[in-house]
Amino acid sequence: MKCLHDAPKPHFVLVPFMAQGHTIPMIDMAHLLAKHGAMVSFITTPVNATRIQSTIDRARELNIPIQFVPFQLPCAEVGLPHGCENVDKVLEKDKVKKLTDAYSMLHEPLVLYLREQNVPPSCIISDLCQPWTGDVARELGIPRLMFNGFCAFSSLCRYLIHQDKVFENVTDGNELVVLPGFPHHLEVSKAKSPGNFNSPGFEKFSEKILDEEQRAEGVVTNSFYELEPLYVDAYQKRIGKRVWTIGPMFLCNTDTSTIADRGAKASVNEKHCMEWLDSMQRGSVLYVSFGSMARTVVSQLEEIALGLEASKRPFLWVIKYDDRPSEVDKVLPEGFEERTRGRGLIIQGWAPQALILSHPSVGGFVTHCGWNSTIEGISAGLPMITWPHCAEQFLNEELILNVLKVGLAMGVQSITNRTMKPHEISIVKRDHIERAVVELMGEETGANERRIRARELKEKARKAIDGGSSYSNIRQLIEYIMNRGTHTGVL
């Protein structure tokens, strides 16, 4: 067995899927691997690299062994406009398909690039949605590990649903089906479960994902063992390979600017935002945000505004209405900002979320239950109001409410996604929002118990990354790759 500090550095190649919720945790992963002595090549594209320019510059300044490698994406060849390199730039399914085609065309350039490196690659860790990287890894004779941006609870659900074709004969999307093979009774519906690129046109891509999932040498997740041991064990057993839980990965970032600029430059002056939070009472502020992809329609914005106003609680609300932030003022209820001045702060666009959540004045989180937001909320010890929109978010809600018991449901029953027209979306009404906010932020027994449990999870999360289970898992992962003998080209 080689010792980590006297052996040559293993070289990890990270290939994220280009959507903020997928890229951000892989940037954290790059920093985590580097911190533990590995070198990293992080594959990106010019437009995506621009978004994270400050992260790239900082890595260079601080001599962090992460190389950000931008590959030109062949957009024109697949019929996409120039610069259309991220999923948040496309709404139509056929364009998403084109984007995945363009990414798979990076196969050859990536092989060529990696063959030329002084330190040969030891391992590829790539997103579930970049299945073509399995072929690259085989061509180079190195292992591919799959990064699954879900928690183990939702990963296991997703795996069972797709491998066992649970919804094959289900025609009604809302029909509840008992999930066979799950560690306990769990009912799922097709509408509220993660798809696997099931739309027409995606058949081959979806098959490739499932095939490469089988062939991957292991799975890496942004969760920690103590959070969901039952599901980590069951998932590992079911897929028959190692699941490395190495999260919460973002906790490896210690300097404030790295945390503030995660994913993109914040559209608010971070100092102003922190000063505002400093001026509020401890645990009093509710943070409201629905992740990177969701866009809230005007009628819903109005209800949220009036619900927050009626709750009389301080709030920090991140609004993503459309991609023209200056329009937001025009669509909020008249006089709303004046009436809530002093106790409400609105951020239009990109917020320094991880920084905000860890501020002691924040006491609750209204979340869409994307996994990154969820694990960030858990790491900050915050009770949450769950407002899932789509993908695996309804499953994460189940974990938050019924397993971890740190949440309160907004009671959303149907999905909302970016491709839906405003009239197709079920709007949550202001009085409903007001009630949930008052209950979460209040002093009733239930609210206090939720808070205590959330604080306990925060402790566990920090312990996991700070010498605990996630710390040993990342060490073991690096050692596993080194002992496998591929990292210096010695096979």
Q: According to the binding rule CB under 6 A, does residue 296 interact with ligand UDP?
A: no
- Residue 95 has phi, psi (to 5 degrees) of -75, -35
Phi, psi of 182 (to 5 degrees): -75, 150
Residue 489: half-sphere exposure toward Cβ, Cα within 13 Å:
7
Stretch that binds ligand UDP, among 92-100, 218-226, 289-297, 450-458 (CB under 6 A): 289-297
Burial class (CB in 10 A: 0-12, 13-18, 19+), 107: middle
Kindly state whether residue 399 participates in binding ligand UDP, applying the rule CB under 6 A: no
Show the site string, 186-225: x = touches ligand UDP by CB under 6 A, - = not.
Answer: ----------------------------------------
Distance CA 389, CA 366 (A): 12
Smallest distance, ligand UDP to C-beta of residue 370, A: 2
Give exposure, 320-329, as e/b (b: 16+ Cβ within 10 Å).
bbeeeeeebe
Residues 342 and 375: their CA atoms lie apart, in Å, by 29
- Identify which range of 164-172, 179-187, 325-333, 368-376 contacts ligand UDP by CB under 6 A: 368-376
- Out of 370, 377, 381, 383, the only residue in the binding site for ligand UDP (CB under 6 A) is 370
The 300-329 contact track toward ligand UDP, x by CB under 6 A, reads ------------------x-----------
CB of 350 to ligand UDP, least distance (A): 4
Cα distances from 317 to residues 305, 347, 364, 400, 439, in angstroms, run 9, 6, 12, 21, 18
Q: Contact with ligand UDP (CB under 6 A): which of 143, 194, 291, 407?
A: 291
Quick one: which of 52, 293, 415, 454 contacts ligand UDP (CB under 6 A)? Answer: 293
Nearer to ligand UDP, 202 or 287 (CB): 287
Pick from 287, 371, 387, 471: which binds ligand UDP (CB under 6 A)?
Answer: 371
Min dist. Cβ of residue 384 to ligand UDP (A) = 12
Could you please report the per-residue DSSP string of 162-185?
HHTTTTTT---TT-EEE-TTSSS-
- Residue 382 binds to ligand UDP (criterion: CB under 6 A): no
Q: Which helix (H) or strand (E) holds 437?
A: helix 430-441
Question: Within 13 Å of residue 245, how many CA atoms lie on the same side as its CB?
Answer: 25
Nearer to ligand UDP among residue 20 and residue 470 (C-beta): 20
Dist CA 300 CA 298 (whole Å): 5
Binding track over 326-365 against ligand UDP, x by CB under 6 A: ------------------------xx-xx-----------
Q: Which amino acids are annotated catalytic?
A: 22, 127
Q: Which is nearer to ligand UDP, 194 or 291 (CB)?
A: 291
Q: What residue has token string 């914005």? A: 301
Residue window 254-273: x/- pattern of binding to ligand UDP, with contact defined by CB under 6 A: --------xx----------
Report which DSSP code applies to 254: -
Residue with smaller CB distance to ligand UDP, 265 or 475: 265
Q: Which is nearer to ligand UDP, 99 or 447 (CB)?
A: 99
Residue carrying the six token digits 């058949």? 203
C-alpha 467: how far from chain center: 23
Q: φ, ψ for residue 387 (rounded to 5)?
A: -140, 70
87 vs 447, beta carbon nearer ligand UDP: 87
Among 85, 212, 228, 376, binds ligand UDP (CB under 6 A): 376
- Figure out which of the listed residues 20, 48, 193, 469 binds ligand UDP, where binding follows CB under 6 A: 20
Q: For the CB of residue 363, give the shortest distance to ligand UDP in the complex, in Å.
A: 18
- Torsion angles phi and psi, residue 243, rounded to 5: -110, 115
For residue 342, which of 418, 263, 282, 281 has the smallest C-alpha distance? Answer: 281
What's the half-sphere exposure (Cβ side, CA atoms, 13 Å) at 97? 13
Q: Count residues near ligand UDP (CB under 6 A).
A: 19
Amino acid at 367: T
Q: Does 71 participate in binding ligand UDP (rule CB under 6 A)?
A: no
Q: Which residues bind ligand UDP (CB under 6 A)?
A: 20-21, 24, 262-263, 289, 291-293, 318, 350-351, 353-354, 370-373, 376
